[in-house]
Amino acid sequence: FMLEDAAGIRRVVIACGYVDLRKGIDGLSMIIGDRYHQNPFEKGTLFLFCGRRSDRIKGLL
C-alpha cells in the first residue's frame, strides 16, 4: 500500500542489510531497538526494511 499523506513524516530511517519481511510489528520494533538502538515509537519516523528480494520493502511508521 502507498502512503497517502506523507506530511507527518519528519525522518526516514533505512535499515541496512536484509530483514525477514515475514516479521510483524513486534518483530520489526525489536530489530529497531536492539540492532539500531532507535526508538521504534518515535512519532513522525518511518523505518524501512529490505528483504532478500530487492523489489520488496516493508515500512513501520
Nearest partner of 14 among 58, 38, 49, judged by Cα: 49
For residue range 9-21, list pLDDT tens digits in order: 899 999 888 899 8
Distances (CA, A) of 25 to 7, 47, 49, 52, 61: 22, 11, 12, 19, 10
More confident residue, 1 or 34: 34
- In angstroms, the CA 40 to CA 37 distance is 9
Domain ranges within the chain, ordered by starting residue: 11-60
Question: How far is Cα 19 from Cα 16, in angstroms, rounded to an integer?
Answer: 9
**Among all chains, which residue has been given the C-alpha cell 518511518?**
46
The pLDDT of residue 37 is above 90: yes
- Using CA atoms, how far apart are residues 59 and 49, in angstroms rounded to an integer? 6
Residue that wins the pLDDT comparison between 43 and 6? 43
pTM of the model: 0.81
